[in-house]
Structures are given as C-alpha cells and as structure tokens.
Structure 1
Amino acid sequence: MSFSPEDRPAEPRPAAVDRSAPVSKGTLACLTLAQTAVFVAFVPLLNFLLPLKAEDVDPAGKVVLLSQAALWGGAACGLANIVFGSLSDATRSRFGRRRPWIALGLLLTLAAYAVIHGAETGLGLILGVVLFQVGLNAVFGPLVALLPDLVPDRQKGVASALLGTAQPTATLFTSLVVAILLSGSVWRFAVTGAAICLLLTPLLLWVREPAAPPSAGPRARFSLEALRSSDFRIAFVSRLLVQVAVAMNALYLLYYVQQSDPLIERFGVDSVDTVFGWLLAAWTATSMVAGIVGGVWSDRIERRKVFVVASGVLLAAGLLAMAAFPTWPGPLVGQALFGAGLGLYSTVDIALVAQILPRPERAGRDLGLINVANVLPQIAAPALGIVIFQANAGQSFILTYVAAALFALTGGGVIAVIKGVR
C-alpha cells in the first residue's frame, strides 16, 4: 500500500467504473454480508455484552461505567471514521483503495474483543471499547464508500434495502444466538468474532474495486468542504438526532428490562436475558420488513424524504410506548414499532445520502464526515443518559425514552427541507 506525494506527475490510470452500469448480484451480496459483519461486531457488544461486562466489573456503578465506556468509545469512533475514510480515498495498492483498511480494521476489532473480555477494571474496559471503535471504523469508513464507488443511482434504493437488513440481522443474531442460545462470556465473544470473520471474507477476497477517479487527489486530507452544501448539513443533522434516539434505546434496553417491576413480576428475575432477546427479535423482524419494503418502494416512486419523515414518527411512537406502557406487551409493541422506524430510516437514509454527496470522488472522506453523525450520539446518548438517570434518582428509564422519542421525531422531520432529493 502506498500514498503518492501530491507533486508526483500523474500516472495513467485505468478507466473509472461506469457508474451507470448495474452492479452484479454477487457484488451486492458481498457488500450486504460485509455490512452485516459491521453490525454483528457492535450490536451484540453494545446492546448486550458490554452492559453485562460493565455489571461484572462494577455492579454498583454499572450505569455510569457503561456510559463512560460508550462516551470515550464514541469520541474515538468519530475520529477514526473520518481518518480511515480519508485514507482509503488516497490509498493506491494492488488490493484496492478500501480493502486493505477493512482487513486492518478486522484485526483490530478482534484484538479489542480480547481486551474487553479480559478487562478486570473500569479503565481496562474503557480502553478496550476505544480500541474496538478504532478497529470497527477502520472497517466501516472505507466500507460505506464502496456504495457510491460501485452502485449507480437507479440501484441505490435496492442496494440500500439489502444493506439495511444488516442491523436487524445482527439484532436477531444477538437475541437468538448470543442472548438465548449461548451462555458464558467466552463462547459469546468467540462466536461473535468468528461470525464477523466469515461475513467479511467474501468482500475481501472477491469484490473488485473500481479504479480511483482521475479527479481524486492523491493525498489524504481532512476537510469540512461537504458542509458547505445545505442538503448535506440537513442530512447530517437528521442522522445525528435520529441516532441519539437509537443509541439511547440500544444502550439502556437491557437495564430497562432489569429494572422493570412489571416485567420482573410477570417473567421472573431469571428470565431477564430471554425477555431482552424477544424484544430484540421483535425489533429485528419489523426492521427487516420495513427496510426492504421502504428501499424498493423508494426506488420505484423515486422519492426518499417521505419515508424518512415516516420513520421518525414510527421511532418516536415505539419509544413513547416503552415509556408509557411498561406492562407486557407494551415493551414488545414498543420495540416492534421502533424496529419498523429504524429499518425504514436506515435503508432510505443510506440511499438519500449517497445521492447528495457533493464530490463522489471524495466519497470516503465525505461519508466519513457524515458518519460523525452516527458517532456523536455515542457520546451524547451516554452523557444524556447519566444526567437523566441521576435526575430520576436511578428509579427508571421512562424519562430516557421520552427524551429519545423527541430526538427521533425531530430528526425524521428535518429531512423534509432537503431540496436535492425528492
């Protein structure tokens, strides 16, 4: 892998990919599996394994420790996403621009799993989460740039629908495999790590990257140039607000179940993991259906914004149900609505953002920038969580879910003012 000096004479390049040509089903499958690998890496960890580990390290201060680990990890995530996306734009190697960094990120992610599993102190756990976020974003930053690299606009909705199945699939893996089928920390971390490797292997071995566009500069640079576009700024704000809501639900759902008297009274304290698993399963099923339908339909009618606005309403409805109806089946209905909103948002927003990039040749850098909107919530959500939870004297997560609903509704609504996409 090499980085060319800016003043080196330009060398002849192979012709850039024809972005009007349809991408093959095999390539779409590899992209989908790789996207699923990313979500399998973090959904079980952040939703289930990390809360359990925080409880194991510090039973009395688990909420604060979990929030601190998420906060510092989020800070590392934001920097890493931009850095690795920009580096992949500028990389010239026989293996392509994106794949070398994805392979490095896979190794760092697996190393982080080992550190987190072996952590015996709060500091060790926090350092493990920071390493995890660096490694995961070395995968994710270059990976998301492959969508505009490879897929033409007329296929972006379908491609995004397939990519949108990654999160519900990872959630289903978490609920049925990690939470219910497996027991013991060693097996849970080991099986999750093996799944990540298997899912990333097809992309690393078989996907052919297009040549770098002739207009792409040879040096990796950090730039906020994309924020000059008003549509880009709106998409950034929308994703930021929605992801705060998503992060608050993901981070505290297990503790919500543990501290819900109605759920404990109905199912018993020994059934917490099972109840949590079924809530994730409900989230997964509706997310996958809504994501596929929304992505395909948005391509068919050539509209994106209406789906994003609707997703914010569904997310907010689900989160408010969690707050207002803690007795069964209120949480189940809440997570089902939440999943439908998340699937719809995740799928259509991917397609929408890919269409409004100011400079496609800088897709890695600009998608790294907009993915900061995925990252800042990982700092904001735990910070807000600490404040709200302590203001409520640690009694429940009702106020947490009300706040999350407001973020979701606002985030979905602001997308209506974008002008460059219908």
Structure 2
Amino acid sequence: MSASLSTPETATATAPKPVGPLFISVYALAMFGIWMSIMLPASVTLALRISEINPEGKTTSYSIAAGIGTLTALLANPFFGRLSDRTRSRFGRRRPWIVVGLAGTIVGAAIIGLSDSIPLLLLGWIVMQAFVNAASAAALAIVPDHIPARQQGLVGSLSGTASAAAVVVGVFFVQWFPSNILAQFGLPVLVAVVFSALLLALFRDDAPADDDIEPFSFREFLGSFYINPRHSPDFAKFLAALFLIGCGLGVIATYTVYILQDRIHAPEAELPHLITLAYVIPGILAVISAPIAGWMNDRTGRRKLVLGIDAVIVAAGILVTAFAESVPMFLLGMCLVAGIGTGVLYGSYIGFAVATMNDPATSARDLGVTNIAITLPYSIMPFAAPLLLGIGKGGPNYPLLLILSAALTLCGFVPLLAIRSTH
C-alpha cells in the first residue's frame, strides 16, 4: 500500500487525502524507533557508559554530557527542520533528511560504543543528538504535509505515544545485554532504521520544496529558531502556553529521585524499586492517555479545552507531590503529572501546533521550534530551582519549588485563552 496523499505538483495546493491504517501504523513504529534511539541513551545507557569510562567523576561528566546534548538537540531540531523545508531533492524534502539523520545517528552510536575517553564520548553524543533530531524533524513534518486535519490529532498523538513508550520498552535492551554497550546503543538505532525504511517505502510522493525559495542566508539561519509574534500570533501564544506547562513537567522530571530521598525519606534499599515504579507506572499511563487525547482533539476540535484540562491535571499532580508524605501519595502525584499529564500533552501538542501554524512551507522549522518550547523548561528549571530550594531552613524547600512550578503551569491559561484560530 502506498501513502498516496497528493502529487508533488499539488502537495501544498490541495488538502491531503486520508491515510489508511497501514501508513498510520508504520509511521507510529518509525517514530517509536527514532525516539527510542535517542531517549534510551539520554535516560539510561549514556549514564552507564560514562560510569564505565570515568567512575570517579561520573556525576560531573554526565552533567556536562546532558547539558551539551540538550543544547545540541535544541539547535539541531529547528535548524534541520529549516533545511528540510527548503530541500528540492528529486526524492522529496523529508525523506532525504530521515535517511541522513539515521545514518548520522548510527555513526554517533558507534563512536559512543567504541569510545575510551569522555571527550570522544561527548563527540559521539553530539553527533547522535544532532542527526537524530534531523530525522525526527523531517518525520514529524509528515503530519502537516500529508495528513488531513481530521487525522492530525490521532497521528500526531502517536508520536507522543511512541515517545512515552520508548524508554519503557528500551529498558529491556539493557536487561538483555547488560554488559554489551554496542548492543544497548545499536539495537534501538536498528529498530529506527528498520521501521523508517518501511515508512520511506510507503511514503513515495514526498514533494520537493518550491523552486522560488530565496538563498539560505545567515538571517535565514537565525530564523530557524525564532517565530515572529506579529506574523504568527496564535502560534506564538501556543508556544508560550506549551513552555509554561513544560515548566511544571521539567521540575518533576529533574527532582523525582531527590523528592523520594529528601521528602518521602524512602529507605536506601527500597529506592531502586520505588524509582522504577515512579517511571514505569506513569509511563504506561502516558502511553494509554496520549492516543486518547489525540482522538479527543480530532473528535471535538476543542484543542484549547484539551490542553487546558491537561494544565489543570499537571498542576494538581504537582501539588499532590508537593505535600506528599507517603509513597502512595507520591506515586499518585507522579501518575497525574508524569503519567496522564505528560500523555495528554504529548498526544495533543503536535495537532495543536499544526492548527496554529500559518505557513505550510515552514512546517518542519515550526515543529522544531515547538520542540524547543516543550524541552527548554527541562534545561532552565534545574538552574532556577536551587534559588527556591535554598529559601527557609530545615533542608531543601521542595514544597515552595513545586508550588511555584504548579503556578507557572496554570499561567499557561493566559496565552492559551488568547488563541483565536482554533477552539
């Protein structure tokens, strides 16, 4: 079956045709592989590799690697998205960058697996982050390019579902090959290559960019990372709302372990088990809730309502976590924030982004900037948090930090309600 959506000559001029279950399934599997190839290293295997190379300085080395990797991803996603938007290859504008991105990801994973020093590992991590974001930027742009509006919520949500499932499934690779670092890095990439190859086989009518695009200049390069609020007011408001909701998620993601240790006072012997529960149970809930959120967006068309409800769920979960004094209460808060809250957000944000974007010629760049809005809080909040944690006496002030992050999440209603182009 071919994903016969539109001819190259009419790709941007006519509405896309509906896609069938086969294409939707293969697209979801390809996104699952792409996300797993980078999220498993970011969450688990990179830390294991660093601990092998530099056991004494592993915490410092990991912090450096995490910071460099996040910065690389933030820059690479919209930049490669911009290049994809402008590509005039006879193979289309999305397919070449999926191939180039996965090829670079393979190179980066091999460098990490074969590295015997931290600088070489950092080089591999930069290469891997840059090129996997090239692949993801091009793959995500398939949604606005070739999926009709009434299917965009569902198909976009599958990317969120894939993201949530990636680490949960990828952990099994670590369990199956506990001492084989090449397998831990390589198998997720192999999954991405296999499923992406199937996607490329179906996605044959990828149209190249128009011939009248201006030459790529330094101004164009800077434009890869900026959305003019005057030209795209609703999209800019959506990005602001997404960033504010992400502030709450970023705090929870960063301080899960420390809250267990310092607030719940979990026994050291039980900590690994509780950490697993804190990630796996919410992860399963996220996998379930993401497609439901996408279906609700398509069914009702009320994207602001769905994202607004999500902001309330995230804020409520953060407040439950802030005042939790027992493991069950802590897990309840995590299920609300990292489970249902994250799932609904991941299941709805791509469809919402597409509904507020106003230039089909820059869809990959715009989704790259959307990626910045949703991930930047994970970098900013850990730097701001120590100022709040230090207020008062008697140890880190987690309640203050969490209450403020819940308030920031609810502030997302201000730009959200101001959006006019979608309900």
Please indicate, yes or no, whether the TM-score normalized by the shorter chain is above 0.5. Answer: yes
Give the partner amino acid of 1:369: V
Q: Quick one: distance in 2 between partners of 1:205 and 1:316? A: 43
1:14 to 1, 9, 15: 9
Q: Name 1:361's counterpart in structure 2.
A: 361
Q: Quick one: distance in 1 between partners of 2:124 and 2:343? A: 29
User: Is the CA contact 2:154–2:295 (under 8 Å) kept in the aligned structure 1?
Assistant: yes
Q: Name 1:164's counterpart in structure 2.
A: 160
Which has the higher mean CA deviation after the structures are superposed, 146-155 or 411-420?
411-420
Q: Quick one: distance in 1 between partners of 2:256 and 2:190? A: 25
Q: Name 2:4's counterpart in structure 1.
A: none
Q: 1:303 to 1:19 in 2, by over 3 A?
A: same
Name the count of aligned residue pairs.
406
User: Is the CA contact 2:73–2:130 (under 8 Å) kept in the aligned structure 1?
Assistant: yes
SS at match of 1:341: helix
Give yes or no for the alignment of 1:196 onto 2:181.
no
Q: Name 1:379's counterpart in structure 2.
A: 379
User: Is the CA contact 1:65–1:122 (under 8 Å) kept in the aligned structure 2?
Assistant: yes
Give the partner amino acid of 2:160: G
User: Is the CA contact 2:356–2:421 (under 8 Å) kept in the aligned structure 1?
Assistant: yes
User: Is the CA contact 1:73–1:130 (under 8 Å) kept in the aligned structure 2?
Assistant: yes
Q: 1:150 to 1:20 in 2, by over 3 A?
A: closer
Q: 1:213 to 1:116 in 2, by over 3 A?
A: closer
Q: Name 2:81's counterpart in structure 1.
A: 85
Give yes or no for the alignment of 1:297 onto 2:285.
no
Q: Name 1:33's counterpart in structure 2.
A: 29
Counterparts of residues 222-237 of structure 1 (less than 5 Å): 222=221, 223=223, 224=226, 226-228=228-230, 229-237=232-240
1:419 is displaced (CA, Å) by 1.3
Q: Structure 1 unaligned segments of length 5 or more: list them.
A: 1-11
2:202 to 200, 206, 223: 206
Q: Quick one: distance in 1 between partners of 2:125 and 2:89? A: 30
1:264 is displaced (CA, Å) by 2.9
SS at match of 1:211: coil
Q: 1:195 to 1:260 in 2, by over 3 A?
A: farther
1:246 to 235, 249, 257: 249
User: Is the CA contact 1:70–1:379 (under 8 Å) kept in the aligned structure 2?
Assistant: no
SS at match of 1:164: helix
Give the partner amino acid of 1:88: S
Q: Quick one: distance in 1 between partners of 2:114 and 2:386? A: 25
1:151 is displaced (CA, Å) by 1.0
User: Is the CA contact 2:101–2:133 (under 8 Å) kept in the aligned structure 1?
Assistant: yes
Q: Name 1:287's counterpart in structure 2.
A: 286
Q: Name 2:333's counterpart in structure 1.
A: 334
Q: 1:388 to 1:31 in 2, by over 3 A?
A: farther
Q: 1:341 to 1:139 in 2, by over 3 A?
A: same
2:126 to 126, 130, 133: 130
Q: Name 2:410's counterpart in structure 1.
A: 409
Give the partner amino acid of 1:366: D
Q: Quick one: distance in 2 between partners of 1:62 and 1:386? A: 21
Q: 1:387 to 1:230 in 2, by over 3 A?
A: same
SS at match of 2:83: helix
Q: Quick one: distance in 1 between partners of 2:262 and 2:110? A: 29
Q: 1:249 to 1:214 in 2, by over 3 A?
A: same
User: Is the CA contact 2:88–2:210 (under 8 Å) kept in the aligned structure 1?
Assistant: no
Give the partner amino acid of 1:232: F
